[in-house]
Structure 1
Amino acid sequence: MLIILAVILLGSIWFIFSDEIWLLLCYLESQIYPTFSVPQ
């Protein structure tokens, strides 16, 4: 039972962090990509 709760907890933590990392990557892409697509 404890193992099942640990797996659920780690799964929820992983989903939270993966969502945060995804938002961070989208933000960095929006900041970096225009500098490469539009040379100054």
Structure 2
Amino acid sequence: MLFSSRDPQHYQQGQGTQLLQEIASMLPGLLERWIERA
């Protein structure tokens, strides 16, 4: 997943890391539910 902006001040330092942490915390539960449906 990629987010970009032409404005160099649009994103703050560490913001991408926070997004990855949130996705990593949600992913196991989502995968578990997806596998159970298969």
With normalisation by structure 1, the TM-score equals 0.47
Structure with the higher fraction of residues in helix conformation: 1
Task: Return the TM-score normalized by structure 2.
Answer: 0.48
Higher relative contact order by CA 8 Å / sep ≥ 6: 1 or 2? 2
Bigger radius of gyration, 1 or 2?
Answer: 1
